[in-house]
Structure 1
Amino acid sequence: MSRGWRPGVVLVQGVSMDQVEGAMHMVEGPVVVAADPFDPESRTAELPRGGAPDPVIPGVVDPLVPAAGSGLRGWAGRVGAALVRDGLGLLPVMALAALPMHFFVGRLDDTVIAAPALFDLAGGFGLLLLPLMWVAYLTVSALPLVVCLAGAVGVVVPSAADGVRPRPREVWASVRDRLRALWLWFAVVGLVTGGLALVTVPAVAAVASTGLMTLAGVFGCGLLIERGHGVRRSRHLLARAPLAGLLGCSALAAVLPLVADELVGGVAATAVAVLAVQVWAVGALVTYAQARRREAPVTSGSLRAELKAPEEWLR
């Protein structure tokens, strides 16, 4: 080691210090953590996050990421395989989501119907409770979506990568840092879909809810795995993946609970609703993985590495 050596500084023989002084910089840690694919000037470069990704080996079938060019058939195969492989692991997730789904989640118009009763309460001052009822509705109604999507990511990704179902503590540790942002996102989605149900006909509200559920599923997976990109990133990924399967799952998750509530009601409707939402969550995860595969080589192992990467690596 030469006497003039310093970390992050390279001296070229035959070149004076004055000539290279402006070109030398002290560097600590990675210069670029994640590239912005939407940078029009291409001023960033991609570095691996959370460890080197597993290589994509030709001829080897990944249990989570559909092969390139497999389309809807590959998507359906991965969703079905994930549900069969991790169905038992997802049962506690669905049980946890069933509690708010059954006891607390109602329709937004129920709070509007309650307005006359609130007006008679305490000489009209009870009407001030109506905004609090809306906030409570939006907060709790988003919880089943948050639980099912976070559970799908936390269970299915490690299981596909390692071949072993993760323990509940490992699932919680892998997603807990992003639950607040995910919950806020789905609360906004609930506000939009609930408002549309009040001001439009049911068919229009169902179509809008299906589209929002599709976008929300891919965006939620990005929040949990990439932890740093927004809606624009989700639109970018949605443009790269076949959406027929996820649109179908989103439509079932948006419409089937309402139909089941009208036909059977009670516990049976809750079971149908939770199952539909959990299938939507797994479908959203596979759609996200398929879009990432079309963008760059990715495997279940590389997704697991991103999911388990420390928060500071992803900022």
Structure 2
Amino acid sequence: MATKLVALGCIVYGAAETGRVDVLVNNVGHGTYGAVEDVPMDEARRRREVNVFGAARLTQLVLPHCVADRGRSSPAGCTAWPSTRGPHAPTHRLHRTALVTHPAPHRGEPVPLLAPGVIHIAISKTNNAYLIEGDDGLTLVDVGSGKAVDLLLRTMTELGRDPADLNRIVLTHAHPDHVRGAPALREHTGARVLIHAADAAWLSDGRVPSDGRSSPAARWFDQLPAAHWTPFKADATVEDGELIAGSGGLRVIHTPGHSPGHIALLHEPTRTVLVGDAVFHARLLGYGPATFAAEPAARASGAARIPTDVTAVGFGHGAPLTGPGVDAFQAFLAKQR
């Protein structure tokens, strides 16, 4: 009871003094060593109470003060070593990252700021979207599946923005993992959907047509319901070299190959390029599976149209690159020229 009162008192005092709780380090934990069969069950239960439920209770006490500042908690711990008797987790860490330049958490982590005005949103373990602060509101690049819509809406809210601030959705190409959520997100926000004219007809079809893939395996995949989306029409089309009005400086770069109308987008104010699926970053840089491309042989020439004088790179699939990592991207593009 004394320990509980001390913990509660420290949390209340800290929150009252600062108005927030940024980081909680939990050093309460204990364990004993020896054979598992030698530990009394009462001792094991008490250790579990301290090491696991104690950490969970601290999370409950801290979370309201974190949420008030749009934060989140993230408990983590270690399990027992083979020679440890009973649950042993002295290193449980409860942390809430101070959200200053990365203000909106998603999937338990702060949203990474790829560049000033360009936010990277991991909409799944493999797919990315990008939110750009524009002249007249927000622009979203790619949407992902229907399941991503709630995450995108929540992210905008946690950024302190009304979802109605989303004025446009720019699709890099018409593949299901990039467009399936677009109709629902447009309905929620009123945003206009933009895509290159060469891919626009695919949106109305609700699927990739048979001539949009280079292999029988991909054409078979496109017959599955999982590869279909609710048919919809784009509100406008974009073309190579166009500066999208109101987007905060997004310049269209036509990069055909993965699909006929595939585009990359250069955020000119920060020299950040969003390449969609023109280039994949799956440990190594490459073009992704040729199976799902419309014209695999055209992908290199399409990627060669992407500028190399950039400061950050966002991919449709794979972790973005900044700083020294951009050098590898520049070297990759140099080989395509």
Q: Please report the TM-score for the alignment, with normalisation by the length of structure 1.
A: 0.22
Whose RCO is larger (CA < 8 A, sep 6+)?
1
Structure 2 length normalisation: TM-score? 0.21
